[in-house]
Structure 1
């Protein structure tokens, strides 16, 4: 891999550290060529400290190492994306990331939708919320609704109207997310099983 350490006078390039599983950015550090070579050798993220003027391996004191899975170079050959398996907290302030955020797996809009369903389950009035009304009727009704949507999805899959098929598929997924929460689970529980099978 060709890395250009000469673009900056100090010979340092930014290294973006990303959790290989959650895809969350954990921190940003700087590497010179020696730090990069040490990272490759140890398979642990090693940086050049601009304040201490020396190399440091993340976790050398705390034990919270960043075990390197892959290293990618950007299109200008002057920024690294390093995917890691973090051991413990990344930030020296005791947080998962250097932005104070938790390093949780998210699934974009589906995670937002799960959060909305959770809120409706806890606080919404069944007269004003379809989701709350389903929870009020119990898990049997929710499961029945998933079955109905599954049948409708299958019927539309055998037809040629893609719009109807996609809409029924969305209804099925939506009701399935409700059923998961009615049973005390989330999408992450299903992903864990699929990852285990993979």
Structure 2
């Protein structure tokens, strides 16, 4: 599965009735709640990474990716937008790119 395919799944679920779809129910609570859920999933992934639990990390990373796409959807940001940003950064080293954000 690609991120674009997952983005399509999120969009399809977002258009469902909140009583029929977890994604639609979460989105109905607003972008702030969606961001909070993404944060919760990210923390759970961090915990699994620190524990060294590869299977747990794999599972939580899947949740992180899914909820990242839900969060992007909630704010009208596409995977293509993110990939364009990443492509633009490829012309600079990671250190130079990070330094430019600090200015």
User: Per the shorter chain, which TM-score range?
Assistant: 0.7 to 0.9
Whole-angstrom distance in 2 between the partners of 1:172 and 1:154: 10
Deviation at 1:110, TM superposition (A): 2.1
Q: Which runs of 5+ in 1 are unaligned?
A: 1-107
Find the counterpart in structure 2 of residue 92 from structure 1: none
Equivalent in the alignment of 2:64: 172
More strand by share: 1
Q: Can you list the C-alpha shifts for 1:110-129, whole angstroms capped at 9, x where unaligned?
A: 2222112112222x111111
Cα offsets for 1:94-121 (capped at 9, x unmatched): xxxxxxxxxxxxxx53222211211222
Aligned partners of 2:3 and 2:31: how far apart in 1? 21
User: Are 2:59 and 1:183 aligned?
Assistant: no
| Greater Rg over alpha carbons, structure | 1
1:144 partner SS: helix
Between 1 and 2, higher relative CO (CA 8 Å, sep ≥ 6) is seen in 2
Structure 1 window deviating more from structure 2 (167-176 vs 112-121): it is 112-121
C-alpha distance in 1, partners of 2:12/2:57? 28
Number of aligned residue pairs: 90
Name whichever structure is richer in helix by fraction: 2
Output aligned runs, 1:30-45, within 5 Å.
Answer: none
Q: Cα RMSD between the aligned structures?
A: 1.1
Question: Any unmatched runs of 5+ in structure 2?
Answer: 91-103
Aligned to 1:155: 47
Assess if the C-alpha contact under 8 Å between 2:14 and 2:21 holds in 1.
Answer: no
How big is the shift at 1:160? 2.2
Partner in structure 2 of residue 15 of structure 1: none
Q: What is the aligned counterpart of 1:125 among 5, 13, 17?
A: 17
Q: Which runs of 4+ in 1 moved over 3 A?
A: none
Counterparts of 1:127 and 1:168, CA distance in 2: 25
TM-score, structure 1 as length reference? 0.44
**Matching residue of 2:9:** 116
- TM-score, length-normalised on structure 2? 0.82
